Amino acid sequence: MTDLNLEHWWQPFTNVRAFQKNPRIFTRAEGSFLFREDGGDVLDITAGLWCCNIGHARKEVADAVHAQLMELDYAPPFQFGTPPAFQFASRLMEHTPEGINRIFFTNSGSEAVDTALKIAHLYQFARGKGSKTRFISREQGYHGVNVGGTSMQGLPTNRHGFPVLNEVDFLPGMLDISRNAFSRGCPEHGTERMAEAFEHIVALRGADSICAVIIEPISGAGGMVPPPRGYLQKVRELCDKHDILLIFDEVITGFGRTGSAFAATEFGVTPDIMTSAKAINGGTVPMGGVFVKDSIQQTIFDHTPETVPEFFHGNTYAGTPVAAAAGLAALDIYESEGLFTCASGAKGEHWANTLHAMKDLPSVIDIRNYGLLGAVSFDPGEAPAKSLGPKIHQRCYENGLLCRAVGDHMVMSPPLSITESEIGLFAERFRKSVLEVL
């Protein structure tokens, strides 16, 4: 039991009263492990919150952050600039899909999403299509917690009770266990259903009223669901057909998670706008960003008088030199250790095999994988059994494994730097925990 005073910090997405009765405190991290207050090691199979892709406590990043703090800790980003922010922006463009060579820095994924929605609006307005104000999102989608992102939420608990914009329609969610159970990688079914729903929304609202579609290429917080085959290509095709922008929310899928630097590259589909955060600098200093096609920025520039800011929007900490220095150091690690592509190589294969070998565990109704992402779904059963996910989550923690429960789906996203033997340790601790609960 901790001797910390737990009353004053109101923690995010936390059942605070339950936490106060059963506190779970981490005090240290290294590589693929977090360490509890009692000293016990916990294998971090979530890479923090899908962000510590290069592993924990990397000295190279710590040194870069320290050096930057001593050289130039902060300078205002409004009307001024610093070398690390420009250098980091340029380095990032070596990894973006063709035609995307601009980034607007934010502090988080939520800010990146709301910024992306505003850029999309501004673009439509700039090119004389001001009536295009509606958005299309997707059921089970997660797009952060700001008002714009909350409005795009396809997860009911993240919307209920909050102010939301009403000009949003939803495509059906991609999770379809009845038809796609135990698929490896992209499942077979779902593209047609999505296309029908898309056309239905366009027919109902009119293409002239729709600004953009926003989707995660792989649904993350909705239970880790890869897109059905041909799905993203079809979305792109429909967006082009109806003159609608396509926004990929790559807050989870960016930075090597899928086997490419971005899911857009992995699936060969280029969106118009792409959000990012989390692993952008290895989860070390808060930072996010919105990648934008050059042509979108150009249209907005062309329609703005030269005497005023082209985009009247921004944050105090947007592109701070410290976050950018962390990003440059993290990028060195991603590049030199081949982390952007390792998820599609032998490591990804080993991960997929390990995960699918869990099929014999009791109550498992589906296993999904893509790159270094994974999910094991348990039968929700009758009402009292519904808290299986949280129970397995707690038992995993006690047995030295951090994974994430999304309802009855156990979701995984290990650091990309994870070793084969650590993947073996994951299997051992996960299996033991599930068998103890069931």
By CB under 6 A, residue 143 contacts ligand PLP: yes
Residue in 355, 380, 383 with CA at minimum distance from that of residue 369? 355
Tell me which amino acid residue 234 is.
K
Between residue 275 and residue 294, which ones bind ligand PLP under the rule CB under 6 A?
A: 277
User: How far is Cα 36 from Cα 301, in angstroms, rounded to an integer?
Assistant: 51
Q: Which is nearer to ligand PLP, 42 or 113 (CB)?
A: 113
Query: Which of the stretches 56-64, 189-197, 244-252, 335-343 binds ligand PLP when contact is defined by CB under 6 A?
Result: 244-252
159 token code pair: 């919307």
By CB under 6 A, residue 117 contacts ligand PLP: no
End-to-end Cα distance, the chain: 27
User: How far is Cα 384 from Cα 364, in angstroms, rounded to an integer?
Assistant: 17
SS3 302: helix
Question: For residue 390, how many other CB atoms are within 10 A of its CB?
Answer: 14
Q: How many residues bind ligand PLP (CB under 6 A)?
A: 14
244 token code pair: 């609608």
Query: Which of the stretches 18-26, 56-64, 222-230, 248-256 binds ligand PLP when contact is defined by CB under 6 A?
Result: 248-256
Closest contact distance (angstroms) between CB of 343 and ligand PLP is: 17
By CB under 6 A, residue 113 contacts ligand PLP: yes
Q: Which is nearer to ligand PLP, 51 or 202 (CB)?
A: 51
By CB under 6 A, residue 327 contacts ligand PLP: no
By CB under 6 A, residue 186 contacts ligand PLP: no
Q: Which is nearer to ligand PLP, 252 or 333 (CB)?
A: 252
Q: Which of 249, 266, 366, 408 binds ligand PLP (CB under 6 A)?
A: 249
By CB under 6 A, residue 220 contacts ligand PLP: yes
Per-residue mark of binding to ligand PLP, 83-112 (x: CB under 6 A): -------------------------xxx--
What string of DSSP letters covers 305-362? -TTS-SS----TTTT-HHHHHHHHHHHHHHHHTTTTTGGGSHHHHHHHHHHHGGGGST
By CB under 6 A, residue 247 contacts ligand PLP: no
Give me the sheet containing 409-412, strands edge to edge: 364-370, 373-378, 409-412, 404-406
SS3 41: strand
Residue in 342, 368, 340, 341 with CA at minimum distance from that of residue 355? 368
By CB under 6 A, residue 215 contacts ligand PLP: no
Q: Which is nearer to ligand PLP, 162 or 301 (CB)?
A: 162
Site for ligand PLP, rule CB under 6 A: 108-110, 113, 142-144, 216, 220-221, 249, 251-252, 277
